[in-house]
Structure 1
Amino acid sequence: MAKSSFAASSSRFPNLWWMLPGVMLVFLMTGAVVRSLAESGWASGLSILPAVSGMAVAVGVALAAWPRLNRWAAHGLSLVLAWAWIVQQIGPLLDNRLLGWRDWAVELAIRALTWGRVLASGGRGEDIVLFVLALAALCWWLSYATVWAVVRQQQPWLMMIANGAVLLVNYTYVFPKPDLEAMVFVASALLLLVYHHVMQRRAAWETQQISYPDLLPLRAMWAATVVGAALIAITAFLPAQITAERALQTWESLRAPFRAARAAWEDAFSTINAPPGAGSISFTARVAPLGGSRFLGFDEVMTVRSTRLDYWRAVAFDRYDGSGWSNTTGELARAALGVATAEQARTPLAAGETIPLTDRRARQVITQTFTLAQDRNDDLLLVGGTPLQFSLPASLEHVITRADSGGIMPIYDDLALVTAATPLVAGTTYTVTALVSLADVQTLRNAGTDYPQWVRERYLQLPANLPARVRAEAARVIAAANAETPYDQAIAIEAYLRRLTYSEDIPPPPSNADLVDWFLFEQQAGYCDYFASAMVVMLRSVGVPARWVRGYASGDFDPEEGVYIVRENVAHSWPEVYFPGVGWERFEPTAASYTSAPQRPLQSVFGEELEDAASSASGAALNPGRFEEPEDELSASGVSSGAASAPAAAGRNPAGSGEWFGWLLAVLAVPASVGLALLGGRWWLARELRGLRLAAAAYAEMGWLAALAGLAQQSWETPLEYAHRLAAALPEHAVTIHGITAAYVGERYRRGAVVRVPPEAARQLLRRALLRYAVRHAVQRVWSPVRVR
């Protein structure tokens, strides 16, 4: 046994040999947090964070181990060194015309002051460099303060909690999840607690002059490492006893407190990227970069009551730079009006006030009612189609230009977004009177190319360095389809893109490539952001104006409530193409299970183009507080049912003529109708299942057939509960039903799990059984009223 050579008076400031394990653990713990931030993809330039953290650890060790330096002097010196080092790291991200550290420091100071004034006036910060600066300062503080707490104060608890909170906030939103960094953080934090306890015991032993082996502290650390690794290995192989649904509920509960934190960050830094998995709460960021994999949640966002199926538009983007999209509409309006922020340039709209649109041909006026299921942190008012009126006071972000005479010229047809004048909290209900498209193919083909100046200036923009093969591919697709009009060209490119693979699990795109080019020729798989971007860029390259739009797909229709239920996992982006006089028309190049392409008749069913039904869009016709009941398509356009049936009555044969021929047609029509219905149902089901994985497709098909049989899944049932009820109705196929459900749950909720779908023969038998059950169910429904009578 040997007595330590350290005196009690020196135990508060141990030498480097005893500091080294603690410093290494601090380096690992804070390094895991910093690396998770650097790899998150929130913004470009975060690669400087590890260098900032490493320097902060070194400074912290030096200052904490200096016994004669009091804490205030140490912290002040740390702030000076932090500013100097962070400016040195951020400098290369600034303008190349700035020559050195002094210019960089002045530039950052000016930007910070401007940012503060914008926030104070109610605006939203849009300087991404300041976001990088804020994260760099956060990483410096975490690293330096953790070293100080461990070495000087010997109280690591608070800083461990702070590091864990930052890691958890980041882990909540980014995807793929930084699992390795999280494991390193947990392991190093636990070992740091052991180190802290060992050092406390060592100090007590030396104070009491108790002898102990020289290497006892290191042996204790080694033993803790072995035990911790063993526990991690054992728990990794333990069977999971918790259901996927319960795990999802728990995760959503844990994630909830951090949603407000993210909203605050978005107010200060509205141009930060939304990493995959960040959810769909906010769309107001001015920049929308194209990223890697994404994973959206299943929270309900809102319900929509509408007489027409549509997508719910949130924001339109106009400018493509090769890596993503930006919305410059507010900035153009700000410059035209000479105000401080884009928010101040928005046009106020009173409740019930009509927006003076000019593009109104082939449109129908309907009313949509939105009910929010969660707070909208961006206060965006959504709409299906083109908005005319809102039941709430709102603000319009649209282009405002200077006329030749020097006056202001607002362009309401170039509307980027609409925000409410009051916060939109969960439970808020508002109505929108909207123009929805009834345009037919012939009308769009005849629209021509006489585009307004604002369309030509904004919606044909492409980066100067767009790869030539993107333009060549667009021209090749159009030539192969022999498409001459802008509409036919859009259809040709839409069909070409729908043949590519839909996938949300894609690698991060390269930083030095045009991402539409990368998607078309290298990756050839992606999700809606890439499909919509490719279509807009390809159309612009051949002179067809288009824009990139964010919002939500239609959602799931609830027949009992008569509403569309919109969840976070249908957050979507799509292209809109401009047609003179008609306005913006939606297209759908993304072939996914949750999307639907617009269905347009070849020509107007009325024999002529529909003029805008909103020409009388004032007064009671556009009462925003009243929801319109579903109208017959003919009566909605001013054509009575009697007029529609008159030609048929005039051409009817006298009674008795062709009687046997009529009976023959009636007899043949029954099997023909059944056959067409079966073929149509099969085609529709194949279309709905396109893009799904095998287990998800099998489960969706089973659910659809079961719904025909009166065994639809209820909203409150989990997949496993539904499988039990379905198996009780069809006990001879219970094994197949449970097999399909287990494969679906594993594929959906257990990433990386190996799933085994029952063989095709078993699934075919289940299909036939469900169809027979559906026929019996239909007969019973028809026969029961007859027996009652």
Structure 2
Amino acid sequence: MGMARHRHRQGGRRAQTGGRLAEAGMIGRRRMRFFTTDELGYLVVVLALQAFTYGIAASLREADSQSFFWVCLIAALIGFGSNKGGLNGIQASVGIAALGVLGVWVFGARLASPLLDLARAVLSVLPQIVPAVRFGTGIDTSAILEAWEVIVNFSSALLARSQTWLIGVQGNVRVNDALIRNMVWVLILWLVAAWTGWFSARRNAVAALMPPMLLLAAVASYSEYRVESLWMMVVLLLLLMGIWNYRTHTQQWQKQRVDYSDSIRYDSAQAVLFLTIAIGAVALITPSISWRQIREYLRERSSKNEVAEMLGVQEEPRAVQPAVTPKPSLPREHLLTEGYAHSQKIVMTIRTGELPSSGNPFVTVDAPRYYWRGVVYDRYVGAGWVTGPAPPQGIPADTPLIPGLLEGYKPLHLDVDLIQPEGRLFWSGMLFSADVPLTVEWRLRPPSSLFADQPALLQADMFHAVSDATSYRAESFVPNVTIEALRLASTEYPEEIAERYLEIPASVPERVGGLALEITRGQTNPYDRAKAIETYLRENYAYDLEIPAPPTDRDVADYFLFELKRGYCDYYATAMVVLARLNGIPARFVSGYSPGTYDSLSARYIVRELNAHSWAEVYFPEIGWIEFEPTASLPEIERAATEASLPAVQADDPTASNLLTRFRVERISVWGLPLLGAFLLIVLYYTFIERWVYLRLAPALAIERIYRRLYRLGRPLAGERTRAETVHEFMSKLNAAFDGFKTGPLRRRMFALAQRDVRLLTNTYHAALFRQTQLNRNEIKLALQTWRHLRLRLLYGRLILSLKNR
């Protein structure tokens, strides 16, 4: 920098301060006889390696982790020594990697004892060499050959295990070999720790600790074991940056014979400790970017992390979920064969709060009709229904599943008591929240935006919601739509919906497609076509529970439509979904329970085993999924024809709105609180800490630092530095640049003040270089206050310049 040229002009003053420098250095050395700053820094590195290996070891399954710390410590010492020994990066990397591979191989193949036997055998042969040369006697190498054979056999066995493991990695096949996993982890830790040691020798804290921090973060994000070790490494990194930054500056000052206060050691220590504790505390107590969210995002795209499994990283324990069989079937088949079709056993009771108790058990109430959904299938495979990939997501209690309220939907509050729990929740419409923890298996997750539009929310696609609760309260949204709106709905289906819910297997016979088109001939919109299919099935096929299972080699829809011509709800729903898809209408198969009976005395729905049911749903853009009832044994679903005939909606329940507000506040705080904390720390630094630090520096050093910052910020405005440029020449160039920014009254005043501030700081710095007497405290206060104003004006000037150059 330009002012670096002027530092040699301090010679007159340096003679006066040389004694003070020597005295301060002697006092400092006497006070630091227990720990130098270098030793303190290396101690922090050792603690960081301990936290690193502790976090890694806690996340591994069946790992021999007792040696991890010592492996890292030895590797760090070798990396440190390689740097201090003058090796370049390539030489050190090759040597350390080779040493690590060799050590890991010896460890894995258990070659320590055979290698010792080989060494003893070689030593026993050495006395035989001279007689063999002089007298021609033979040399007994049998012991060497035996020892070598043992080494070869052990190495061959390990090589075979390694090849098997590598083949499994390449083929994404899990090979559970604890020995190979340990070898891989030891080698990884060896290389990472050697890197740390290499950059520790250079006192580069970020380069030294960032790789182990990233590795620990990656492991902790999957396992979530001992996550506090990652926080500890962050704290140690901040501390190490302060220690080594102080050491680097004091070395520069001593080399350049710059005077500094003998109390700066303690002032710096206070500042470093304060900032480390403050930032560490903010990182600990405020919400951060959730590793759980990142992990869940990745699991949406890969339901199983094979690499993590092979490396033995333990996944965070999760609630046991009932297995979903991939075998295609009709969901109600098992209920029919086990006598559930006529069972009066109560499965659950549901209270919605829409109607009060009648007070009379004999009063009949016309209660709203709801279907209680449990499982939603998307893939028809001819022999029945299966679900596409549906990665699970854990949802805490009282957490919205979708980040928004649905317009045109009726909010529905449910109090559910499960008499016979099935390991899942039941609800009507679109589930919004539940007051119990649950695991949702999503085929398509809701948008992550906190203010997503409704069409995006409606595309959320859930297989089912798993929970072991026996009672719960849930909030859901039920479509409150008219026939008129359904007829006017768009046919521009979202890509995700069309791709998934228009799929028909090639095994479906052509005659099914012909029937689908025949049924809907003359209908001009998706609703009327879907209604025509529903009516056709209800009028032409008899409801019958006593039917044989469909042949395994026959398409279920074809078998029901053309041969069986009778059946129960699964057949009706399957046929309607297939016929709708063949007409280009997205449809899906839903399994759960029909409304059951409404008990007016207790104001609740009584759902029994005989109410087990399946039905079809059709998708309408910007409206969502609408239920259709093709089964002949149940009444049609009644809908209002126009807006005027819509039934009155109950007063809005604030529960869903309150939950959504709280959810949004919490999500915003994930980003907002850390940003607010960082902003407050910046304000705290520039308001108090900066002034406190500068006023404790020697005046000459304080004004030099202020001028350095002025130079760095102002250099782009002043243009390229010329040869032998003085501080006043730099000032002239900078003020000339300010003249070019004076295009209005406000700017003229602002940059006139900036020119005044630049002259003041330049003259103060020049006086510190050449004046015989030292600057006083008041002059530093004035310079610091001036710099605070000038800094903002320099930043504004650079912004103007950057906009001009675009």
Q: TM-score, normalised by structure 2?
A: 0.37
Q: TM-score, normalised by structure 1?
A: 0.38
Normalized per residue, which structure has more helix?
Answer: 2
Which has the higher relative contact order, 1 or 2, with Cα contacts under 8 A spaced 6 or more apart? Answer: 2
